[in-house]
Amino acid sequence: MDAEIDFRSDNVGPVAPEIMEALAATNSGAASAYGGDALTAEVKLRYSELFEADVEVFAVPTGTAANAISLSACTPPWGAIYCHVDAHANTSECGATEFFSHGAKLVPVTGEHGRIDAAALEEALRDSGRGQAHRSQPATVTLTQATEWGAVYSHAQLDELAEIARAHSMSIHMDGARFAGALASANCTPAQGSWRRGVDILSFGVTKNGGLLCDAVVVFRPDLAETLKYRLRRTGYGWSKMRFAAVQLLAYVQGDLWLHLARRANLLAERLARGLTTTGAARLIAPVEANEVFVRLSDAAAAALNRAKIRVHPRGDNIVRMVCRSDMADADITRCIAAVTENHGIEKRAN
Ligand SMILES: Cc1ncc(COP(=O)(O)O)c(C=O)c1O
C-alpha cells in the first residue's frame, strides 16, 4: 500500500534533524530569560556576519507576526502599504497588519506571478493623494520573495521597485517566508538579495524550510529596530525561554543548512514541473523558480492524483499548488509524475 504524499504546503513537513538536535543539545541548565542569554546575543553577531551588515534580529513565532510587526514599524496608522494583490499580508493574515499598525491601509497592486508591476505601482502612487488629509499616505512597499506564485524577483526588478519607493520616501519590507528558496534560486548572497536591493526590514522565514515554530525579523535600519522590542513585547511575542528560538536561528544557518535545504526543495520542484508538463496533462501557470509548482490539471489527472493518495492544494479553476520540501524523497516526485502520466495515457487512448 503506497503511503500518502503531501504536496499541499511547506508547513506540513517535519523539522530539520539538525534543528531538532540543536534544540535537544540546548535543553539543559539555566540561561537568562527574555533574550538575555548567550545564544540570543550570538544570533545578532552571526546574522550580522551573514548579511554583511550590522543587523538586529528578532525571533517571532509565525510569518504573519513577522510581516505585521515589521510593517507596523515602517508605517504610521495613517500610512498606506503598497503590496501585491495576492500578497499573503493582503489575503491571508486576517488583518494582522492593519491591527498591529493601528489602521494602516493595504493598497493592492497588480503584477504577473505575484511580482508587483513597476508601472502599476507608479500609477497607484500617482493616484495616492499625497498630502491630502482624506487619504492614507504612502509609507511602505512590501515585496514577497519568493512570490505567492512561486516566482522570484530578479535584482533588476527589485532595483526598479526600490527606486520608485525611494522617490516617494517609502520604506521597503520584504516578506521572505521563502527567502532561502529565492536566494538559492538567484544564487546570490543574503546581502545581495536584501539590503543591497534597498530592503529595510525582512521577514526571514525559517519554519517553512525546516524550522520549529520560529521565524525572524531581520532589521537593516537602526531607527526601525529601536521600536521592535517594544512592539514585540506588547504583542506577547517576547518569549521568556528565548534561547530555544535563538538556537534554531543559529542551527538554521550553521554550515549553510538553510541554503542546502532550499536548494533541495527547489530541485525537486523543478523535476516535478518538468515531469508533469512533459506528460501533457498539466500546464504550468507560473514559472517554477523556487519550491512551488502551480499547474492546471485535467479533471482526470486531478482524480488520478487523488487515487494515488497524492495530496495537493486546490486553487480553483482546476489549478493546484504543489509545494516541494527538502525532506521529500526523489521517489515521491517519480510516483507523482507516474500517476499523472499513466492516467494521461489512459485518457488519450479513450479519446
Ligand atoms: C508568502 C507568505 N508569507 C507569510 C506567510 C505567513 O506564515 P504563517 O502561516 O507562519 O503566519 C505565509 C504562509 O503561508 C506565506 O506563504
Residue 206 beta carbon below 6 angstroms from any ligand 1 atom: no
pLDDT, one tens digit per residue, over 290-344 is 999 999 998 888 889 999 999 999 998 889 999 999 999 999 999 999 998 876 6
Q: According to the model, what pLDDT value does residue 317 have?
A: 86
pLDDT, one tens digit per residue, over 81-131 is 999 999 999 999 999 999 999 999 999 999 999 999 999 999 999 999 999
Q: 126 C-alpha to center of ligand 1: Å?
A: 30
Residue 12 in this model has a pLDDT that exceeds 80: yes
Beta bridge partners of 284: 295
Of all atoms in ligand 1, which is nearest to the CA of residue 62? 10
Residue 1 in this model has a pLDDT that exceeds 90: no
At a CB cut-off of 8 Å and minimum separation 6, what does 117 contact?
109, 110, 111
Confidence band (pLDDT; 50, 70, 90) for 346? low
pLDDT, one tens digit per residue, over 80-89 is 999 999 999 9
Supply 46's cell numbers.
552571526
pLDDT, one tens digit per residue, over 226-284 is 999 999 999 999 999 999 999 999 999 999 999 999 999 999 999 999 999 998 889 99
Quote the distance between the C-alpha of residue 296 and its chain's center: 23
Residue 267: CB atoms within 10 A of its CB come to: 16
Residue 163 in this model has a pLDDT that exceeds 80: yes
Q: What are phi and psi of 129, to 5 degrees?
A: 75, 40
Instruction: Give 1 or 57, the one with higher predicted confidence.
Output: 57
**Under 8 Å between Cβ of 227 and 58:** no
- Integer Cα distance of 230 and 265 in angstroms: 36
For residue 33, say if its preceding peptide bond is cis, omega within 30 degrees of 0.
no
Confidence band (pLDDT; 50, 70, 90) for 351? low
- Indicate the top mutation candidate among 85, 175, 179, 323 to test ligand 1's pocket, ranked by most ligand atoms within 8 A of CB: 175
> Which residue owns the Cα nearest ligand 1 atom 13?
63
Q: 88 C-alpha to center of ligand 1: Å?
A: 6
